[in-house]
Amino acid sequence: MKNVPFQEAGTAFFQYLQVEKNASSLTVEAYRKDLSDYAAFLKAENIGGPESADFQTARLYFSRLYEKRLKRASISRKISALRSFYKFLKREGLIENSPFAASSFQKKETKLPKFLYEEELAQLFDSFDQEKILDQRDYAIFELLYATGMRVSECCNMNVDDLDPDLGTLLVKGKGSKERYVPVGGYAVEAIEYYKANGRKLLLGKRKSLEAIENALFLNKNGTALTARGVYYVVNKRVKQVSQTLQVSPHHLRHTFATHLLNNGADLRVVQDLLGHEHLSTTQIYTHVTKDRLKEVYDHAHPRAEKKEG
């Protein structure tokens, strides 16, 4: 077994994530912190380098994480980071076996994604005043998020030329610089084109600096690109205006997009492509359906669902 200096192994691993896996900067930074915590644990336990760890070491680290009262999602991410790290070390021939390869580690708690019913969406869409500049923008954002299921970061990365209104398609710049084309419904296309022709032009005129033309589709009140934080603010503000009980985030609109497609018969792999998921297992969480839809499908598909008269 080779001696594996932690710093050198970590540097090589992060380079692998960025170059070969095309991981986002946020993912790399999260993994960097997870490996740093693990290195501190090995040092505190006098275990040595990563090659000295065994299954019992992994179990002990798992216990230490629980003692810190971390959320299951945080623990799951840390274990996932270490699995990837050791898998990389094994691929490079630096270790023979991964202490984190065992499947017995508890996975994070699975929660069904929250989604909106069509009546709730209609209530939100009907609340916008198209005579107001910011309402034009906000309405276009709501329509776009629901029409495409795109992430907030993808929404903020949109440029004015990314939408082809004639074809009804949109270029989406996703995680890790990956790009995909997705269809966009007529309501969203109309909302975006109206905003571009009216509200966006007025917002663009409010820029204090005229050094460069702002290409971002969605602009803030100062005429510069709307940030992810700004999109969250827009959604939260609108929801509070409409309902005191409804709780909606931009990601809920992504959940709603996927749920409504599947409830109406869309193929799971098609939804996977539309969402930009790398693995089908990520999309499968959206296969929950409403009770009415479940009963409808069962009654229609099962030969003995309903007893025949006579």
Catalytic residue IDs: 151, 175, 251, 254, 277, 286
**Cα pseudo-dihedral 121, 126, 127, 132, rounded to 10:** 130
Q: What angle do CA 254, 258, 260 make, to 5 degrees?
A: 115
Instruction: Give the span between the Cα atoms of 18 and 32, in whole angstroms.
Output: 12
Q: Quick check: helix, strand or coil at residue 21?
A: coil
3-state SS, 154-197, equals HHHCCECCCEECCCCEEEEECHHHCEEEEECCHHHHHHHHHHHH
Exposed, middle or buried by CB within 10 Å (0-12, 13-18, 19+), for 169? middle
Instruction: Give the span between the Cα atoms of 204 and 216, in whole angstroms.
Output: 10
* Token reading at 293: 């839809």
